[in-house]
Structure 1
Amino acid sequence: MTRKFLALGSLFISSAILLAGGALLGTLTSIRANLEGFPLQAIGIVMAGYYLGFILGCLMTPEMVRRVGHIRVFAALSALAAASSLIFAIEPSTWLWTGLRVVVGFSFAGLYMIIESWINERSTNANRGQVLSIYRIIDFAAMTVGQYLLLLADPAGFVLFSLVAVLIAVAIVPVALTQIELPSPPREAKLNLRRLWAVSPLAVAGCFVVGLTNGAFWSIGPIYVQQMGYGSAMIASFMSAAILAGAAAQYPLGLLSDVVDRRMILILASVGAALAGAGLMALGVRSEFAMLAGAAGYGVFAMAIFGLAAAHANDHAEPEDFVAISGGLLLIYGLGSVAGPLVSPSIITAFGPSALFGYTAAMHAGLVVFGLYRTARRSNVPAGEQEHFVVARPTTPAVFEFDPRSSD
């Protein structure tokens, strides 16, 4: 078993470097756009570009890999992402940056998909759960490290964009030198909204709301902290508080959802996310502690909703449909993530930076109402017949292939 994990080491190293670079670039782009004086609506457009590119990357990468192979696609996408990261610092322009964000999102989707499909190919039914757990630990840890890389230089300068490009370039090395056998091309991501809605309207609504809220949080959250008068250290701590609290809470909430009606846990998580948003809106201005506590509360509840929604959908689906259903829900999340950064800046412009969390609270409250409606319309799946919950964060459809539930 240890040998198998060591054999995956090069892929885990590449994914950690990429995730750290991607986390840094996302937060850096947001705060740099604000420093450059972009209007909030323009920043929303720029940040939404990443999610549009990510959807396109999930849809197009499998065919690219089939045509020229994993290593060539990985190298090409890394070059695109690294070059785009450098161009951000050369010319601050709304439409140029939007195009660059589309390219970056497209590239990162392909890079993550290749690594995740590779990890899946080297996993077995016996170790999928352990492999996924290690990948999730790397995922959350690298995202946190990426936030604190902000402290290495002034966001108004060139250095941090250069650091992102260096990280992306270095991530090629472990993959290029790996001796692990090349996997099959990743599966195509297909979106069948009618089929998804028939399986679980609540899961579809939940994943869309997660996109609307978390897309806004990742894109505009750093600007919220900036406009409260804080610098890079507080931005990194605020975003990291949400990441780490979300990572810590997903498993306990998931275990609870395995023994009671999963919809009620999803509804309770939505209530918690709405209350955390309302708390940040009302109390975040008072102190650093209030902001960090609010961010942690938001992470605890809001970051768990996607995994709960995906698990609920698969309680109603056939086991062989697991990857297709989860991948479809991921694309629904992506659509919401495009819309969230476009909608939320107008609300902040009208009502101030704290209104960002008034917006997220309203979206989560709407999900509570819809969840209660669906609970009244459909009986629950008995606890003994539910799929076991597995910690999930929306990355690419390929990650669901080495989820242990896909091997049932």
Structure 2
Amino acid sequence: MRHQPASAADPASASSVAFRTTIFQVAPLLVAVTVLILGHGLQGTLLGVRGGLEGMSARSIGLVMSAYFLGFIAGSLWSVHLIEAVGHIRTFAAFASVTSAVALAYALEISVVGWTVLRIINGFCFAGMILVVESWLNAGTASRWRGRVLAIYGTITLAAWAVSQPMLSLADPGGFVLFCLVSILVSLSLVPVTLSRTGVSSDIGAERMSPRELFVISPIGLIGTFLIGFWGSAFWGMGPTFGQMINMSTEEIAAFMAAVMIGAAIGQWPMGWLSDLMDRRIVLAGGTLLAAISAIGVAVSETQNSLLLWAVLYGATSITMYSICIAHVNDRVSPTKLLAAASGLLISYGAGSTFGPLLAGGLMDHFGSELLFSGSAAVQAAFVIFICWRILVERAVPNADKEAFVAMPSAATSHVGVELNRHTTIRD
């Protein structure tokens, strides 16, 4: 009896082998981004705590944190040209080297002005590294596997963010050790990337779409990404300061920040599943309303346990709304415009993020720590009202015309989930 090849006799088995091969090829990138996010996530919380220990006001810390997103926007725009000029690997190596040095410089130059400059550089480099990873993942993965690979990427990123927060307790935030640890982690992220033997072309085909065009296509998408960037960056930038102002210990601050990311990881798939079944705008409105309620819950909590429970719900709703917004826009644009739309939404998100910590810091200085979350709740409530109005005046996209939902970590997103030109060679 003749034996048929596995691909002919068992298509499912052949498909499984192909998927495992794909995962093996992108594994170095996934390892690199995991280590990178561990360092980057720790650094963000560490700076907020260290700034408070050094006597910086909430307004000053807000300025420092907002500066990161100025650099992030610039890096998102300019890094494309660097990738096309020197390739993915060299671009990642250059940015990782600078980021590693900056991590140490924070401990050497402790001042508002110094940290503001360093945060701009930090944001610029991180945007470049994430663009390298995400464009590489997109272009180096066959279309049939792309959704699964990006889902794995999103899950790993969220998990790394969550794990990075308890690392704050490994040493005294007032010392030098944690800054060294951040530098070590960023440097180690270089190893799997520079040793990788697979990749894609350095031509990533960058496109842009103006805010006006995006607003015409999806007012909810444009305004939503701006506002989500606003309240998301306010939390990430000022969350540690909020903890210090209500007399949390370092361990409690770490647990609080981790709880939000755990909530985000838990909430991604249920929210995405619901948005695939019904009008995404309804899910967006419901999730944002729950985010506003949970924000108030955090603001008025009197015990650590209740605070953590509300924090998990806040992460499961407020952070996951970014993915829903992107999916909503993708439903309304042609495949040839996906990259241009994603680039425009990234700029919208970055613009909102620039204002979040700055305004939150000023409000917290004048009115108290609870304004971080009660202020976010007010913005979220206004967004819910806007979504409800749009539901009344605009028809929903039929389920048959929807793009597949992909979970995306907004705190580290550039072009993830967008299909780029697929190539098979790389410049190194």
TM-score interval (norm. to shorter):
over 0.9
Shift of 1:58: 0.8
- Structure 2 residue 418 is the aligned partner of structure 1 residue 401: yes
- Structure 2 residue 309 is the aligned partner of structure 1 residue 257: no
1:119–1:382: structure 2 CA closer, same or farther, 3 Å change rule? closer
- Determine the structure 2 residue equivalent to 1:146: 164
Shift of 1:251: 1.3
Task: Find the aligned partners of 2:316 and 2:115 in 1 and give their Cα distance.
Answer: 32
1:293–1:201: structure 2 CA closer, same or farther, 3 Å change rule? same
Assess if the C-alpha contact under 8 Å between 2:127 and 2:414 holds in 1: no
- Aligned AA (2:97): A
Q: How does 1:80-91 map to 2 (within 5 A)?
A: 80-91=98-109
Task: Find the aligned partners of 2:405 and 2:391 in 1 and give their Cα distance.
Answer: 19
Residue from 133, 145, 149 that aligns with 1:115:
133
- Range with bigger deviation, 350-359 or 185-194: 185-194
**Partner-residue secondary structure (3-state), 1:398:** coil
Write the deviation string for residues 274-296 of structure 1: whole angstroms up to 9, x where unpaired: 101111122x2x10011101111
Of structures 1 and 2, the larger Rg is shown by 2
- Determine the structure 2 residue equivalent to 1:289: 305
- Determine the structure 2 residue equivalent to 1:381: 397
1:351–1:196: structure 2 CA closer, same or farther, 3 Å change rule? same
Q: How does 1:355-370 map to 2 (within 5 A)?
A: 355-370=371-386
Residue from 229, 232, 242 that aligns with 1:211:
229
- Determine the structure 2 residue equivalent to 1:8: 26
Q: How does 1:337-352 map to 2 (within 5 A)?
A: 337-352=353-368
1:259–1:4: structure 2 CA closer, same or farther, 3 Å change rule? closer
Task: Find the aligned partners of 2:317 and 2:207 in 1 and give their Cα distance.
Answer: 27
Shift of 1:338: 0.3
- Range with bigger deviation, 152-161 or 308-317: 308-317
Q: How does 1:26-65 map to 2 (within 5 A)?
A: 26-65=44-83
- Determine the structure 1 residue equivalent to 2:297: 279
Write the deviation string for residues 277-332 of structure 1: whole angstroms up to 9, x where unpaired: 111122x2x10011101111111110121111111122221122222212211210
- Structure 2 residue 42 is the aligned partner of structure 1 residue 21: no
Same amino acid, percent of matched pairs: 36
Assess if the C-alpha contact under 8 Å between 1:123 and 1:402 holds in 2: no
Shift of 1:402: 5.0
- Range with bigger deviation, 252-261 or 87-96: 252-261
Task: Find the aligned partners of 2:76 and 2:170 in 1 and give their Cα distance.
Answer: 32
Shift of 1:20: 0.7
Shift of 1:173: 1.1
1:316–1:247: structure 2 CA closer, same or farther, 3 Å change rule? same
1:388–1:75: structure 2 CA closer, same or farther, 3 Å change rule? closer
Assess if the C-alpha contact under 8 Å between 2:99 and 2:125 holds in 1: yes
- Determine the structure 2 residue equivalent to 1:78: 96
**Partner-residue secondary structure (3-state), 1:103:** helix
TM-score by length of 1: 0.95
- Determine the structure 2 residue equivalent to 1:303: 319
- Structure 2 residue 173 is the aligned partner of structure 1 residue 155: yes
Residue from 91, 95, 98 that aligns with 2:116:
98
**Partner-residue secondary structure (3-state), 2:396:** coil
Structure 1: stretches of 5+ with no match in the other structure: 404-408
Shift of 1:13: 0.9
Task: Find the aligned partners of 2:134 and 2:30 in 1 and give their Cα distance.
Answer: 9
- Determine the structure 1 residue equivalent to 2:336: 320
Name the count of aligned residue pairs. Answer: 401
**Partner-residue secondary structure (3-state), 1:186:** coil
**Partner-residue secondary structure (3-state), 1:316:** coil
Assess if the C-alpha contact under 8 Å between 1:347 and 1:355 holds in 2: yes
Assess if the C-alpha contact under 8 Å between 2:274 and 2:283 holds in 1: yes
Task: Find the aligned partners of 1:383 and 1:401 in 2 and give their Cα distance.
Answer: 20
Write the deviation string for residues 231-284 of structure 1: whole angstroms up to 9, x where unpaired: 2211121111111111111211121122222111111111101101111122x2
Shift of 1:7: 2.0
Task: Find the aligned partners of 1:261 and 1:173 in 2 and give their Cα distance.
Answer: 44
Shift of 1:78: 1.2
Task: Find the aligned partners of 2:207 and 2:47 in 1 and give their Cα distance.
Answer: 28
Structure 1 outlier segments of 4+, above 6 Å: none
Task: Find the aligned partners of 2:40 and 2:174 in 1 and give their Cα distance.
Answer: 18
Residue from 194, 197, 207 that aligns with 2:212:
194
Residue from 224, 231, 251 that aligns with 2:249:
231
Task: Find the aligned partners of 2:127 and 2:111 in 1 and give their Cα distance.
Answer: 24
- Range with bigger deviation, 191-200 or 63-72: 63-72
TM-score by length of 2: 0.90
1:141–1:189: structure 2 CA closer, same or farther, 3 Å change rule? farther
Structure 2: stretches of 5+ with no match in the other structure: 1-18, 421-428
Task: Find the aligned partners of 1:30 and 1:385 in 2 and give their Cα distance.
Answer: 44
Shift of 1:195: 0.6
**Partner-residue secondary structure (3-state), 1:89:** helix
Assess if the C-alpha contact under 8 Å between 1:186 and 1:398 holds in 2: no
- Determine the structure 2 residue equivalent to 1:406: none
- Determine the structure 2 residue equivalent to 1:390: 406
1:291–1:340: structure 2 CA closer, same or farther, 3 Å change rule? same
Task: Find the aligned partners of 1:200 and 1:39 in 2 and give their Cα distance.
Answer: 38
Task: Find the aligned partners of 1:18 and 1:368 in 2 and give their Cα distance.
Answer: 35
Q: How does 1:119-138 map to 2 (within 5 A)?
A: 119-138=137-156
Task: Find the aligned partners of 1:261 and 1:81 in 2 and give their Cα distance.
Answer: 41
Shift of 1:197: 0.2
Assess if the C-alpha contact under 8 Å between 2:209 and 2:344 holds in 1: yes
